[in-house]
Amino acid sequence: MTSIKNNPAPSAPTSKKKGAQKSSSPKKGIAKLSRWLHIYLSMVSFAIVLFFSVTGLTLNHPTWFGGDKQVVIKNKGTMNVNWVNSPDTNKIAKLEIVEFLRKTYQVKGAVSEFRIDDSEVSVSLKGPAYSCDAFIDRETGKYEVSEIKMGIVAVMNDLHKGRDSGPGWSWIIDISAVFLVVISLSGLILLCFIKKKRVAGLVTGIVGLLICYLIYVIFVP
């Protein structure tokens, strides 16, 4: 007897499947990149986002947390008159005066103003929640120093605003802003890949935007 072998039916061409995989790979790549950015940028910027969130509350309600309290310290004395009494204002010892104030009274902050008048030299130093003003008589070298110090909440509030915090902190604010933009956009992109929640999520976002706009129109004078 001769056996009859059943040849298996020829398999369907896989070109369509491969084509479908290739066509969907860019979308998968975008989704994967968005997910990676959203997760890891959120973790990298977690501390700074938390900082700006908390200080947004303390800045909006400074009296709740003692952010408006301040301590005023005043001192008097006499410094080297040769530093200030030169008729040529270009020869006023600016560096020596500032260093004298720093060493004598441990003043801090960056020099925001150094003004020379006919009878007086004034120096202003500023930092987050801190200011120091010194007034020096050019004839006698006598001076008065007034410092204003505020608490940690006020320091945090000034850092939130970038007030008197220097260029380094300004970079932190800019980088944080970029991170928040990328995190927000990557979350929106991820939402577009979730079919069941895409419409509801977008509608919720639009409603939130409209609520903010209405609050601005109705309550902001």
Which residues are within 8 A (CB) of 127 and not within 5 positions of it... i.e. 6 or more apart?
A: 108, 109, 110, 164, 165
**Residue 12 identity:** A
C-alpha separations of 182 from 40, 45, 127, 204 in Å = 11, 11, 31, 20
The pair of three-digit structure tokens given for residue 4, joined into one six-digit string: 């009859």
Q: Is the pLDDT of residue 39 over 90?
A: no
Question: For the chain, which residues make up each domain, given as ranges?
Answer: 27-63+155-219, 70-150
Nearest Cα neighbor of 151 from 87, 71, 221, 84 is 71
The pLDDT value given to residue 23: 46
The pLDDT value given to residue 193: 83
Average pLDDT over residues 95-116: 95
Range with the lowest mean pLDDT among 68-82, 105-119, 179-193, 204-218?
A: 179-193
Query: What pLDDT band is residue 13 in, cutting at 50, 70 and 90?
Result: low
Q: Is the pLDDT of residue 129 over 90?
A: yes
Q: What is the mean pLDDT of the chain?
A: 86
The pLDDT value given to residue 144: 97
Query: What pLDDT band is residue 1 in, cutting at 50, 70 and 90?
Result: very low
**Residue 45 identity:** S
Average pLDDT over residues 138-144: 95
Query: What pLDDT band is residue 35 in, cutting at 50, 70 and 90?
Result: confident
What's the longest Cα–Cα distance across the chain?
131
What number of CA atoms fall less than 13 Å from residue 184's CA on the CB side?
9
Q: Is the pLDDT of residue 59 over 70?
A: yes
Average pLDDT over residues 80-88: 92
DSSP sequence for 108-143: -SEEEEEEE-SSEEEEEEEETTEEEEEEEETTT-EE
% of the chain exceeding 90 in pLDDT = 51
Average pLDDT over residues 76-102: 94
**Residue 165 identity:** S
Query: What pLDDT band is residue 113 in, cutting at 50, 70 and 90?
Result: very high
